[in-house]
Structure 1
């Protein structure tokens, strides 16, 4: 497996606490968590539109019409994360916030893999995977005690 392919998710993960902090400051400046999330999404939407147009990958209207209701839910899940990060991140700190985010990601990932939901290949929960998630839970507990 190429190293750059492993570096991409590391980079994306490193962006999350920075994004939470920036959006928290934006929420404070605008006096609104949802206004901050709106600004964040507007900037992201503009950047994605420019990238999509530059790649000439605009979807057809018929392709958009053929989407199921759940295809549209990814944006709602992103909105949920941005709003929660802007609100909770500055209040509980970057380390605890991200530890809890990682714990939530791993619990959902185990579920998705186990059942093969959302297009992931089916991979049953093993003792090692469950133990890893429990260790992350222990890490969350240790971080929250300080």
Structure 2
């Protein structure tokens, strides 16, 4: 791996590990509060507070004006995250974390090859290939193995 890719890969590895911890911690909040939605709100409030602190520390002067020209769909990231957090809080105690994560990765990969194929969201097009399809099928096979064995 080129040296320039080590830090981004390491950060994603750590973030990926944290996504395994997020659903069970949110599930505890959901169980104790009696509300999956409240658990998701708390999760996002804590995340927002952390991000605001990091923003203030690293970019004390920032402007929102350039965002007025972004496409409407660029604002949807928070929606996607909210769906994942709430669904994870609901599904974690029912599926278990290994199943939840493998099913989520399968969904991510199916969507990813479609997004790449069509160049959605302004990305460069990467056509669907046999290798990519086989890779996704292996992930789906992994979901089956994790769920059944």
TM-score, L = length of structure 2: 0.91
Write the distance in 1 (CA, Å) between the matches of 2:123 and 2:61.
25
- Give the drift of 1:10: 1.1
User: Is 1:12 aligned to 2:15, yes or no?
Assistant: yes
Please list every run of 5 or more consecutive structure 1 residues that lacks an aligned counterpart in the other structure: none
Deviations 1:36-73 (CA, angstroms, capped at 9, x unpaired) = 00000001111111111112265424223323321211
Q: Superposition pairs for residues 1-146 of structure 1, below 5 Å?
A: 1-2=2-3, 3-56=6-59, 59-146=62-149
Distance 1:16 1:80, change over 3 A: same
How many residue pairs match? The answer is 146
Q: CA RMSD in A?
A: 1.4
Write the distance in 1 (CA, Å) between the matches of 2:53 and 2:96.
33
TM-score, L = length of structure 1: 0.93
- Moved beyond 3 Å, runs of 4+: none
Deviates more, 1:52-61 or 1:4-13: 52-61
Write the distance in 2 (CA, Å) between the matches of 1:124 and 1:68.
24
Distance 1:115 1:57, change over 3 A: farther
Deviations 1:93-135 (CA, angstroms, capped at 9, x unpaired) = 0011101001001111101111111232211111111101001
Distance 1:113 1:57, change over 3 A: farther
